[in-house]
């Protein structure tokens, strides 16, 4: 029996998935919530995997943050199986509190996905983030004032995680579901204004579109791509400049460009065990290098940085 031709939106999602894969992607694992983005992604991944001869499975993460979340997860798994992916697992997780509800849920989800992807060879986990999600990430990073790395938004590929739909708008995944006869689940959290991302999506971006004209989301996503290229280069240079020791030479740091020096310092602090390093911490440590006048050290979570005989010294806080 001849296959039904793919609709234009479904074809766009299929092409995006196909273009994002490399020969190293030997197995695929689709993260599916039952929403439009992940359902369209699952359909496209099945199509691409079948054509390439790749194993393809899916996992639905139940965060257990809402009443009836187990039933929602079961419906999502049923919908994915209906797309022709019989290997679908539902994994329940416990969400902590560190970093706030959104970050904690993301950490729990990613841990579950990486565990599900383990094996030989490990599976590449496909995530359904779209261009709209990227634009929201850029605005949130801008609001935090956390620098180019935050403005770079989400990477297409991070370790074993792959986001093939970052160049497609959410309307494309929604239209793909309509073409495929799928009825996506609408997460109540996606309209809950307690979450910053929801406020950006429902209040900030519409105002920007109205004031500046259409295309703001696409422009923000393009900014993320450009910022990521710059940030990746600076991070690579910082890795080369970091000696990996518990002390740093202040004279050598002082001659580095500020953008590079701040990254060396942030990397060095993280490598010593400093936690939750913010811009103000890096600025304080940088002042020990560039504006030294005998000031005391800089306290961070996990330790203190002081200047001794022309070198920065990391002193860990005793644990016990």
| Structural domain boundaries in the chain | 8-128+164-191, 242-316
Q: Which of 77-91, 135-149, 197-211 has the lowest mean pLDDT?
A: 135-149
> What share of the chain has pLDDT > 90, as a percent?
68
Which residues carry a binding-site annotation?
33-38
Which residues carry a binding-site annotation for ATP?
33-38
Q: Which of 102, 135, 131 is nearest to 37 (CA)?
A: 131
Q: Which of 64, 63, 9, 72 is nearest to 41 (CA)?
A: 9
| pLDDT over 90 (residue 240) | yes
| pLDDT over 80 (residue 167) | yes
Q: 123: which residues sit within 8 A by CB, 6+ positions away?
A: 27, 28, 29, 55, 57, 116, 117, 160
Higher pLDDT, 240 or 195: 240
What does the alpha-carbon distance between residue 268 and residue 132 come to, in Å, rounded to a whole number? 34
> Exposed/middle/buried for 2, CB within 10 Å: 0-12, 13-18, 19+?
exposed
- CATH fold of 242-316, please? Chorismate Mutase Domain, subunit A (1.20.59)
Which CATH number, 3.40.50.720, 3.40.50.620, 3.40.50.920, 3.10.105.10, labels domain 8-128+164-191? 3.40.50.620
Average pLDDT score, the chain: 91
How distant, in Å, are the alpha carbons of 37, 134, 242, 254, 266 from that of 169? 10, 10, 39, 44, 34
Q: Where is mean pLDDT largest: 47-61, 198-212, 219-233?
A: 47-61
| pLDDT over 70 (residue 319) | no
- pLDDT (average), residues 173-187: 93
| pLDDT over 90 (residue 114) | yes
Report the pLDDT value the prediction gives residue 30, as an integer from 0 to 100.
97
| pLDDT over 70 (residue 3) | no
| Interval 186-215: pLDDT, tens | 878 778 788 888 899 989 999 999 999 889
Report the pLDDT value the prediction gives residue 4, as an integer from 0 to 100.
67
Q: Which of 12-21, 95-104, 307-316 has the lowest mean pLDDT?
A: 95-104
pTM of the full structure:
0.83
Q: Which of 139-143, 172-176, 245-249 has the lowest mean pLDDT?
A: 139-143
């Amino acid at each position: 029996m001849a296959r039904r031709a793919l609709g234009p939106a479904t074809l766009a999602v299929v092409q995006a998935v196909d273009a994002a894969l490399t020969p190293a992607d030997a197995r695929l694992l689709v993260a599916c919530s039952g929403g439009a983005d992940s359902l369209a992604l699952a359909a496209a991944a099945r199509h691409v995997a079948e054509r390439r001869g790749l194993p393809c499975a899916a996992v639905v993460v139940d965060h257990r943050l809402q009443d009836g979340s187990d039933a929602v997860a079961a419906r999502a798994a049923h919908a994915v199986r209906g797309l022709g992916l019989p290997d679908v697992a539902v994994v329940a997780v416990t969400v902590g509190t560190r970093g706030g509800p959104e970050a904690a849920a993301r950490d729990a989800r990613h841990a579950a996905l990486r565990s599900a992807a383990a094996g030989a060879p490990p599976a590449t986990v496909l995530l359904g983030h779209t261009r709209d999600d990227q634009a929201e990430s850029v605005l949130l990073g801008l609001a935090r004032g956390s620098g180019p790395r935050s403005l770079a938004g989400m990477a297409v590929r991070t370790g074993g995680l792959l986001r093939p739909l970052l160049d497609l708008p959410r309307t494309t995944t929604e239209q793909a579901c309509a073409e495929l006869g799928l009825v996506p689940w609408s997460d109540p959290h996606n309209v809950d204004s307690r979450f910053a991302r929801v406020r950006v999506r429902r209040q900030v971006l519409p105002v920007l579109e109205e004031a500046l004209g259409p295309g703001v989301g696409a422009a923000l996503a393009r900014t993320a791509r450009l910022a990521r290229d710059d940030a990746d280069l600076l991070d690579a240079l910082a890795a080369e400049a970091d000696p990996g020791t518990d002390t740093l030479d202040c004279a050598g740091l002082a001659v580095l460009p500020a953008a590079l020096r701040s990254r060396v310092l942030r990397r060095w602090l993280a490598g010593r065990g400093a936690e939750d390093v913010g811009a103000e911490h890096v600025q304080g440590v940088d002042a020990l290098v560039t504006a030294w006048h005998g000031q005391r050290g800089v306290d961070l979570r996990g330790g203190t940085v002081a200047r001794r005989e022309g070198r920065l010294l990391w002193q860990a806080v005793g644990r016990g």
